[in-house]
Structure 1
Amino acid sequence: MLTITEYSVELVKDPFQILSGKRYEFLLDLDLEEDDELYSANGIAIKAVYKVDAEQQGSIVNYDLIEKSTGKYLDLDMEAEEEAALAAFCQEHYSEAEE
């Protein structure tokens, strides 16, 4: 289960309108239990790109797990239910980005 302690969301500008829909970049700080395989004593954050199309249907385009204190990208994947929780969180909060 994902426990998000802080987050920010920003609309990704597409001045040439090459991409369909709108993209939002999320930066999320996680609070993880020590027995979680994603846990790091240095802290973990997720950098995710979320796409919303004309019908307001959203999906995760990609995400990266980052060790907060070092900025190192981790070669780990989240479990399916964690990815679903991330997508639900993004769907709920993408509208907070300033246009």
Structure 2
Amino acid sequence: MEITEYIIKKINDPTGIIAGERYEYRLYINLDEEDELYSEGGTGLRVIFAIDEDEGRIASYHFFERSSEKVLDFELEDDEKETVLAYCRAHRE
């Protein structure tokens, strides 16, 4: 899994209920054609990244088809989670 581009957007909480900051990442990934997540239109990963007391964590995520926004029912493997977490930490606003 190679992250080729990303979009980041800060999520505002007008109610003040959520502690810390939240960011939505849309990571676009390059996969081998043999990978079960491969899609001709491209594959993406939507990540909600939470920062509480300067510690970042993945609050939620899901894969999607880039061309249709259809959600794909797959989970990240542990090493992929670490890669995504490090990427989000390195690419904060």
TM-score category, normalised to shorter length: over 0.9
RMSD: 1.0
**1:6 aligns to what?**
5
Normalising by structure 1, we get a TM-score of: 0.88
Deviation of 1:40 after TM superposition, in Å, equals 1.8
Deviation of 1:17 after TM superposition, in Å, equals 1.0
1:72 to 70, 73, 78: 70
State how 1:7-46 maps to structure 2 within 5 Å.
Answer: 7-46=6-45
Deviation of 1:33 after TM superposition, in Å, equals 0.9
Deviation of 1:12 after TM superposition, in Å, equals 0.3
**1:57 aligns to what?**
55
Distance 2:61 2:43 in 1: 13
2:91 to 72, 90, 93: 93
Figure out how many residues of one structure are paired with residues of the other and give that number: 93
Which structure is higher in strand share?
2
Secondary structure class of the residue paired with 2:90: helix
Unaligned residue ranges in structure 1 (runs of 5+): none
Q: Percent identity?
A: 38
Distance 1:8 1:69 in 2: 16
Normalising by structure 2, we get a TM-score of: 0.93
